[in-house]
Amino acid sequence: GLMGFRIVTCEGFEADDILGTLAHVCTEQGCECMLATGDRDSLQLVSPCVSVRMAATKFGKPEVTVFDEAKIQEVYGVTPPQLIDIKALQGDTSDCIPGVAGIGPKGAGELIQKYGSLEGVYEHLDAPDLKPAMKKKLEAGKDSAYLSRMLGTIRTDAPINTDLSYYNRQAGDPPAAAAMMRRLELHTLLPKFGLDNVQTAASVPVQEQKPVVTLTYHDTADLNALYEQLKGHPVDLLATVEDGNILSASLSDGQNIWELQAWTEGFVPFMEKLLADETISKRTDNAKALYTAVPCRSIVFDTGLAGYLLNPNASDYSRERLAQEENITPLPCEHDN
């Protein structure tokens, strides 16, 4: 695969069966195995060598629980193999496993806890503590129960490569992986896999790239002098606007960057003059927010609007996301002394 991980398929076998086969090999060889999944069927594979990292969502937030034998006993009150028999009784409509009609998760769990296995349940149909109604359900659904157990058992004999060294991570193709993530708008995954600065085939050819310009950073400025310096020249402007108020602004003339805050003396009148001045063409990332703060003139480019025009279906037009998509890396800055 593009990330350097092996992709395993096997005709006639489900993904669970491939996981089961590899988990079985790890158990045989005494290797520690962690299965990352959101499918609780995999819990039946847990052993002294195998644990399951179960992904779920709770109250709208992602949650991960690691299941080993002790955790399964704590949560379900049974051993991992007994989970198969519980499912045989309760069924699972999502997997087309019928189970026994009228028996749910609670009843199935109690039966397996008491009698140990599906065979144990049917050996005790005449037990005095088994209610007549439950006995009737079990008798009527016996064939379905055993069929359901067969359907719910993950296979461990898929004919795949079982040499564990074969699955060592390879080099992969980082540029292609980064390009695919950007195309699918999986932008938050890029930094997680260290791909946020990886150039892709869509990058500008080296011979066409402009030389890197080092910008000088200023965190203080005489705003009157700065305004006179910027008059008649284009500027790049990034501003933080909340409730119609500009709280901060970053300005650049291509050589320098000025970082200004609302508490800077003369900040508000400076921003009003700057934004209203027709001789200063301005490029920004959120013109709409600026218009809510002060009257604006000569805004010639808006990256957010341009991003929308290029891809109206995107969910995010932030400059960070657009920079990743266009393979733009931050320019270096030098602080003035």
Find, among 76, 52, 82, the residue nearest to 153 by Cα: 82
Task: Give me the pLDDT at residue 205, please.
Answer: 46
pLDDT of residue 19: 96
| CATH number where 115 lies | 1.10.150.20
Evaluate whether residue 8 is within a structural domain. no
- Is there a domain that residue 176 lies in? no
Residue 169 domain flag: no
Range of the domain at 33: 15-152
Domain count, the chain: 2
pLDDT of residue 331: 57
Q: What is the CATH number of the domain that holds 232?
A: 3.30.420.10
Report the run of H or E that residue 210 belongs to, with start and end.
Answer: none
Angle at alpha carbon of residue 287, lines to 284 and 290, rounded to 5°: 105
Kindly report the pTM of this predicted structure: 0.60
Residue-level pLDDT at 208: 54
Other C-beta atoms lying within 10 Å of the C-beta of residue 275: 24
Those residues with Cβ within 8 angstroms of residue 213's Cβ, 6 or more apart along the chain or in another chain: 254, 255, 331
pLDDT for position 206: 45
For residue 173, is it within any domain? no
Spans in the chain with pLDDT lower than 70: 200-213, 220-221, 327, 329-337
Among 118, 152, 186, where does a domain finish?
152
Q: pLDDT tens-digit profile of 268-300?
A: 999 999 999 999 999 998 888 888 888 899 999
User: Does 130 lie in the same domain as 219?
Assistant: no
Sheet holding 50-58, edge to edge: 33-37, 50-58, 61-67
Q: Is 107 in the same domain as 223?
A: no
